[in-house]
Structure 1
Amino acid sequence: MMKKNTKNIKSLISLFFICSLSYNKVHSQAINPHEFSINGYIRTGIGGTDGGQMVNFVTPENLHKFRLGNEANHYGELQFNYRYRNKDSVNLYEVTYMMAKYIPFGSDGYKQFPETAQLYGKINKVVKNANIWLGKRYYDRRNVELLDYFWINSAQNSQIGLGLENYQIKNAGNLNLALIRFKYGNNNSHSYAADLRYLDVPVSQFSKLNFLGQYSIETENKLMNTQKHNGYALGTWYTYSKKNITHTSTILFRKGSSITENGYTGKTIREYRDSKRIYDLDKASSLDIINNFVYDDKRRHAIQASLTYQYRNFGTGDLDQNEIMMTDKASKNWMSVGFRYMYYINKYFNLALEAGNDYMKSDRSGLEGSLQKVTFSPQITLNYGYYSRPVFRPFITYAHWSESFKGITGESLLNNRLIRKTQGVSIGLQLEMWW
């Protein structure tokens, strides 16, 4: 088990550092007007849970969880950027390519080549400082870092997109418009989204309002016997930033085909799973209410606290074994509250404590319960700052969950030690860096 994890770690690190060395050679030869740069992200480590392979502590029917000491995977991104700069020092043209790789602990996924996560071009400052872009990209993602929950992620895993961004309105923010297309497998099914954002509307010296409007269409698929569906999303978020404090409050409503599978993609949810109808996209909806707060004095204390609530209406009732409707409506509630506190010993060393509680209730599965997780990590880093990277983390994590989650939470093909338990302990090491 340890041998497999070590292979995964070595493969990721080798890939990214070989590319980094190659970049340095290219960059040293680059001269204006051509600019080459590279950036990326690595998360890798090793760990175990109750004497077996490390598992994730997460509530059923959910992907998002409190992250510290609770990520049983390796992940990396490597991005290459080319920019053409004219005599006025304006980046007129850009081309970006990113590869990404996700490998769960114990998997042999390192044998496969990383997927293309982004490949797009951009022409900058076409009109009123607005940029035009075309291709596949991560588009203005917004997240709660504590949970790795991207509550807006309209374009990830898209087939192609086209957009106009940063169209400035004098003293009143900027407009952004994107048209995005997704493809589903090889069955000729597609969805399309028009995403309009009005960002950074000043409210006061330190606060701003942001607005989102989205309209989406999922095409008919005769092979899968699915119908055409429409949907929309409406949202707003308030941001406050002053000295050591940043705070974001969000409310986001989605309807029909604008409801996404999860926070890591903009793809529409599928109505059917294993030939069973899970959603009715003519009636389904979701609501997110999020508060995210960060304080960081970069000398002694840093804390991030979050409160996340999501309600999802499946749009259809529960079915019995004979596919007969038992109820008119099924829904799911998820509430997450927690914090991560860091106490700086000095710029190279801090003590981190993360604690969180997740509650989930699903009418469809009949599951209801909660999960509590606490992690302690003495972190080694190169500078002050909550988001300072690289960081090396030895950690110990304790989790406890409801009796109703027994056999589901902490479940893994490589570790069955928690099947009859309602608590578990993980111990490990993690390296996280971006540049």
Structure 2
Amino acid sequence: MKNCILKTLPAALILALSAGTAFASDAEGEFHGYFRAGVGTNSAKGEQACYGLEGVAKYRLGNECDSDGEFGYTKELLKASNGASFVGTFWAAAYTPTSDIGNEKLSVAQMFVEAKNLDFMHGGVVWIGKRYYNRPDIHMLDFKYLHGDGVGGGVTGLPLGVGKFSYGLFRNDIDKQVSATRHSFSYDGVAVNTDGSLKFDVSLINKDASVEGAHNGWSASLIHIQDKVLGGDNKFGVQYGVGAGIKIGGTGDIMLGSDVKRTRVFDTIAWQVTPEFGGSAVALVQKDKSNAGSQTWTSVGVRPVYALSDNLKLQLEVGHDRIKPAGGGETQQLTKVTFAPTIAAAKGFWSRPELRAFLTYAKWNSAAQASATMGSTLSSSGVFGGNTNGTSAGLQVEAWW
């Protein structure tokens, strides 16, 4: 009986929060979330197939075979007489690599408290708990070029000089248990040109002395953010990580030594040149170097979106990935093309929810096939057998609020 209660508690919490939000004013709390779900098939047989080179991010439109949901509630817990505000946030999440999320258990994704409007912090916010932290992404790839999630505490948005300073102290990343401490430093909002600013990030990872064979690590990142570009924005980044720091902004495998290094350069733009015509594009190069050799991942893609009406859009996504392996040999290559008629909340590129029908075609080479995990889409033992191309079609919904 006790185990049954524990298993159903997260679901009960979410239902309670959702029900409360239906009648809550903005002053009482805010309900936020994200989910995607869909169903599809492929040209060979069976369910939807998805296409990506081994070990790197993939272009996501019409190419997500998983289901993901995150639902959270933020509420002011107390407001002091001098205006200081204490705000609590709770998020639960469920994920499955298949199209049916029905049997998955909810997990606690975030649970933290922020102290705002403190009389001595000049606008800076103090927080403690488990949270998503410093995790901007390249949307087309669903790729977080910084990924600082974890359990800890710190301060964000503290005015300092020409920018704002943030610091986080973490133990144990959300996605894995590690015996290390991470210090995350950020400095952003540094104006360098009209509508352009710089963001600096440094992470220092200290191993626990008790862990035999473990190593320290670190990472550094410099991002230039240019607003008001073709009605959108552009982000250009140069990043570097060593050892456990190759999960740039977060804590990676602490057993990796200082010979393991990652260098990444990327540029991504989102535009909205007219109310009808929006889109996004990305170019990325990532080089991983170790005593075993060097591997280079290169990715180039574009997603133009055109609105036929307020609620009907046409999307086309073309992405090309290649990996030059560390051990030498032929370069792995994959090209993916998706066409997706979309019912949307509005014309804009970022408007959600979106209800999509999609048709996806992918072509890969023999090197990509040979490097794929047995049974995966690209492998010779996968759904397409010895073929090096495939087609998928289906339906998907994506929403955030």
TM over 0.5, shorter chain: yes
Query: Whole-Å Cα distance in 2 between the matches of residues 122 and 376 of structure 1?
Result: 43
Question: What does residue 116 of structure 1 align with?
Answer: 108
SS of residue paired to 1:53: coil
Query: Whole-Å Cα distance in 1 between the matches of residues 30 and 399 of structure 2?
Result: 17
Amino acid at match of 2:385: I
Question: What does residue 246 of structure 1 align with?
Answer: 233
Question: What does residue 396 of structure 1 align with?
Answer: 359
Choose the corresponding residue for 1:163, options 154, 173, 181: 154
Query: Is the CA contact 1:78–1:100 (under 8 Å) kept in the aligned structure 2?
Result: yes
- Mind listing any 5+ residue stretches in structure 1 that lack a counterpart? 1-13, 272-279, 318-329
Aligned pairs for 1:33-48 within 5 A: 35-48=28-41
Query: Whole-Å Cα distance in 1 between the matches of residues 115 and 390 of structure 2?
Result: 51
Aligned pairs for 1:337-348 within 5 A: 337-348=300-311
Question: What does residue 19 of structure 2 align with?
Answer: 22
Query: Is the CA contact 1:53–1:105 (under 8 Å) kept in the aligned structure 2?
Result: no
Amino acid at match of 2:236: S
Question: What does residue 60 of structure 2 align with?
Answer: 67
State the TM-score, normalized to the length of structure 2: 0.88
Distance 1:142 1:25, change over 3 A: closer
- Mind listing any 5+ residue stretches in structure 2 that lack a counterpart? 1-10
Query: Whole-Å Cα distance in 2 between the matches of residues 189 and 21 of structure 1?
Result: 33
SS of residue paired to 1:418: coil
Aligned pairs for 1:130-279 within 5 A: 130-155=124-149, 158=150, 160-169=151-160, 172-182=162-172, 189-220=178-209, 226-242=212-228, 244-260=231-247, 266-269=250-253, 271=255
Query: Is the CA contact 1:118–1:137 (under 8 Å) kept in the aligned structure 2?
Result: yes
Query: Is the CA contact 1:213–1:233 (under 8 Å) kept in the aligned structure 2?
Result: yes
**Percent of counterpart pairs with the same letter?**
23
SS of residue paired to 1:67: coil
More off after superposition, 418-427 vs 361-370: 361-370
Q: Residues 350-376 of structure 1, C-alpha deviation per residue, up to 9 Å, x if partnerless?
A: 110000100102224856211000000
Distance 1:242 1:183, change over 3 A: closer
Distance 1:267 1:412, change over 3 A: farther
CA-based RMSD: 2.8
SS of residue paired to 2:183: strand
Query: Whole-Å Cα distance in 2 between the matches of residues 152 and 410 of structure 1?
Result: 27
Question: What does residue 269 of structure 2 align with?
Answer: 293
More off after superposition, 339-348 vs 79-88: 79-88
Question: What does residue 392 of structure 2 align with?
Answer: 426
Q: CA deviation at 1:169?
A: 2.7
Query: Whole-Å Cα distance in 1 between the matches of residues 81 and 175 of structure 2?
Result: 45
Q: CA deviation at 1:147?
A: 0.4
Distance 1:146 1:413, change over 3 A: closer
